[in-house]
Structure 1
Amino acid sequence: MTRRPRKPAGTGPSKPTVSVCRGCCCGTAKIPGVDHAGQLARLREGVGGAATVRAVKCLDACEHGNVIVVQPSAEGRLAGGRPVWFGLVNDPRAVDDIAVWAGAGGPGVAEAPEILDLYAFSPSRRVRAGLDD
């Protein structure tokens, strides 16, 4: 097995990154009753420029759709923050909670609202490795 080198602590973006899966299942009609475009707009508005919000191709965690990953800033990584994966994010209130947390600094910087524990999950190492870049 080949391993990618880990980024040194403290390197990376200066603000948190919110990756929103928009692949084969997430962000499609396969998850009905969700305003998928509205989710992205709500996240971008909610972080107020304090985090980067980006739509990404399939994160290969389809059983958890809609999936959102909040990656720490360089400061957050130095403080021990690691990416946090959220699944089944189909409620606008959950989107708002993620946006407020990421806007406040995200992993390693700000305390996440306890309600987000209900959405957090740990993907396989193979899936996590795909987002380490």
Structure 2
Amino acid sequence: MTMVRSPGATPSYFKALVISVPLLIGCQLFFVGFAVFADGVAWDWHRALGGGIGAVILAVLLATWLQPSLRAYRAAAAVLLVLYSFQFVWLGLGAVFESGAVRALHAANAMLLTAVSVLIARRTVGRFSS
């Protein structure tokens, strides 16, 4: 199995940022499980890590604007930021309408956010060929 890279080197810092997003989301999901099944304080950890994920996503988007070689990732990074923003929309609307169903969209959106972040990470690192 060999790694196939696209022309033009993607900076290592950008790869690290992009790869960290799905990994951090995975940690956040662990904190949810920990909060539900063991210790409610993990909800605070979940919230704090969520803010950290937002900072990483903003850094990814900023890098695509500041470094011309990363322009191809700009739309994907913007989609990531929009999906991240919707995490708060679902929670806010759920609180306003006192709807658990609307709040549950937070979890569904998290799955979509995870899928998109994994696709971007794969695209950034490269694809494997046999």
Query: TM-score scaled to structure 2, two decimals?
Result: 0.27
Greater per-residue strand proportion: 1
Q: Highest relative contact order (Cα 8 Å, sep 6+), 1 or 2?
A: 2
Q: Which has the larger radius of gyration?
A: 2
Q: Greater helix percent: which structure?
A: 2
